Amino acid sequence: MGNYYLPKSRARDDRYMVSVEAYKHYHREGYLIVKGLLSTSDVAELYELAEQSRIQSLKQDAAADPDSKDPLKEEFAKATRIHMLSRQNAAAERGMLHPRIVDVTEALIGPDVLALQSMMFLNPPGKGGQGWHQDACYIKTHPDTLIGAWIALEEADEENGCLWVVPCSNHEPIYPPDGVGGGNVHALDAFRDLHAVQNVSHIDDEVNTLSKVVANYPPAIPVPLSPGDVLFFHSHLFHRSYPNRTTDRFRRSYVCHYCNARSWVPWDHDGYEGDSGNYRQILARGATHLPYSEPSFGTEVYLSDGEEAANSVTMMGMDNGMMMPMGMKKEEE
Ligand SMILES: O=C(O)CCC(=O)C(=O)O
C-alpha cells in the first residue's frame, strides 16, 4: 500500500470531530457556531483571567489618578480589550492552544495550524463595539487562510454587544482601506473594480463606507452565544459588534486568530525582524516547512513528525485514463 494522509492529531477522548455539514456551512456561509466546545472549567479559567486583567488595569489607573472617587466611572473608562495575553500568561496560552479549538481549525483550514493572535474582551456596560470590518484587512497571510475563533466567557446577546455577521460575505475580496496603499488585498492589481473603503471598523455606518457593501446583502444576523460556545469566522466575513447597552453586565470573550501553518505570515502583533513573522507564531497542530515558535508556557500541542508530514499520495496516469496511486503501482510490480 502507498503512503496516505495520516490524521495530525493523536486520538484523544475529547477530540472534537467536525461534521461534513458543518464544514460545508463554514465554507458556504463564512462562519460556524460550535455550541459547548469548551467545558465549564476551561471557561472558568479564562473568565478568571479576564477578571484579573480587569482588576489589574483598575489598579494601574487608580495609581495614575489617586483623586478619582468613583470606582464605577473609572471602571467604565477602561480599555475594552487586552491584546496578546497569550504571550504573558499560561492560562491565556492554554486558551489559545485549546485542543478542541484547534481540532475545529484543523478541519476548516488545516491540517497544519499556526496560532497568531489573542484578544481578551471585557466590554463593560456602555463600552466596546467595533464597526464593519474584515479581519484579513489587519492580518496578512499568504495564502490567505486566516480564521477567527470567538469564545464566549459569559452570555453574549444583542443587549451586551454580541457579534453580528453577514452570511456568505466571506466570498468577497478584502476591500482596501483608503490611504494605506492597498492594505492587505491578496492580489490588488488583479481586480478590475475593487474599490477602497474609508474608516473600516468605525462604529458609525455613515462614516465607515464598508457598510455600503454590507448593504448589498440580506440583513446581518446576531450571534448570541453562551459560555463555552465558539464562533469560528472566515477572515473575509463582514462582521461587527455594538457597544454594550446594558447597565449591569460585562461582555467578556476571548478571541483568537489562526492560519494554515504553510502560509507565509508577514505580520506580528508587535513587529518582527526579517521577511515574515512566522517565527513568532506558535505551531499548534501538524507540521510546517516554515519557521515557527513553540508554546512559551509548555502547553501541549499535537505535532506531526517530519516523516509523517512528508507522506502523501502521488498519482500517476494510466493508459485507460484512470489515476493510480504510485505506491499501489509499486506494490503490484
Ligand atoms: O468582539 C468584538 O467586539 C469584536 C471582535 C472582532 O470583530 C474581531 O475579533 O475581529
Question: Beta strands 302-303 and 282-286: pairing type?
Answer: parallel
Q: Is 306 exposed, middle or buried (0-12, 13-18, 19+ CB in 10 A)?
A: exposed
Q: Is any atom of ligand 1 closer than 6 Å to the C-beta of 46? A: no
Q: What is the DSSP letter of 313?
A: P
CB of 255 shorter than 6 A to ligand 1: yes
Nearest residue (CA) to ligand 1, atom 7: 240
Assess whether the C-beta atom of 130 lies below 6 angstroms from ligand 1: yes
Q: Determine which of 8-17, 89-98, 291-300 has the lowest per-residue pLDDT on average.
A: 8-17
The structure's pTM equals 0.90
Report the pLDDT value the prediction gives residue 333, as an integer from 0 to 100: 46
Residue 185 CA to residue 176 CA, distance in Å, equals: 6
Backbone angles phi, psi at 64, to 5 degrees: -70, -25
Residue 50 belongs to what domain range?
20-305
| The pLDDT value given to residue 66 | 56
The pLDDT, as a whole number, for residue 2 is 45
- Residue 118 in contact with ligand 1 by CB distance below 6 A: no
Query: Do 260 and 109 meet the contact criterion of CB atoms below 8 Å apart?
Result: yes
Asked whether the predicted pLDDT for residue 68 surpasses 60, the reply is: no
Per-residue pLDDT tens for 46-67? 999 999 998 887 776 555 555 6
Query: Residue 262 domain-assigned?
Result: yes
Residue to mutate (ligand 1; options 81, 82, 150; most atoms within 8 A of CB): 150
- Kindly state the helix (H) or strand (E) to which residue 273 belongs, with its residue range: none
Q: Looking at ligand 1, which residue's alpha carbon is closest to its atom 9?
A: 255
Across-strand partners of 302?
285
Q: Which residues make Cβ contacts (< 8 Å) with residue 109, sequence separation at least 6?
A: 145, 147, 258, 259, 260
Q: Which amino acid is at 44?
A: A
Number of domains in the chain: 1
Is the Cβ atom of 163 under 6 angstroms away from ligand 1? yes
**Minimum-distance ligand 1 atom for the alpha carbon of 253:** 1
Whether residue 159 is contained in a domain is answered as yes
Tell whether 6 is covered by a domain.
no
Helix then strand then coil, % of the chain, to nearest 5: 25, 20, 50
pLDDT at 58: 72
State the distance from the centre of ligand 1 to the C-alpha of 130, rounded, in angstroms. 6
CATH number of the domain within which 283 lies: 2.60.120.620
Closest residue by Cα to residue 154 from 37, 254, 53: 254
Q: What is the mean pLDDT of residues 282-288?
A: 95
Domain assignment present for 195? yes
> Stretch 213-242: mean pLDDT, rounded?
98
pLDDT at 116 over 90: yes
Contact 151, 233 (CB under 8 A): no
List, as one string, the DSSP characters of 181-205.
Answer: TTTT-TTGGG-SS---BSSTT-S-T
* CB-ligand 1 contact for 138 (6 Å cutoff): no
Task: Read off the C-alpha cell for 193.
Answer: 473594480
Residue 331 counted as domain residue: no
Residue 306 Cα to ligand 1 middle (Å): 36
| 313 within some domain | no
Axis-axis angle for helices 20-29, 99-109 (nearest 10): 70
- How far is ligand 1, taken at its centre, from the CA of residue 132, in Å? 10
| Residue 330, in any domain of the structure | no
Residue 115 lies in a domain: yes
- The reported pLDDT for the residue numbered 75 is 46
Query: Best mutation site among 122, 130, 233 for ligand 1, i.e. most ligand atoms within 8 A of its Cβ?
Result: 130
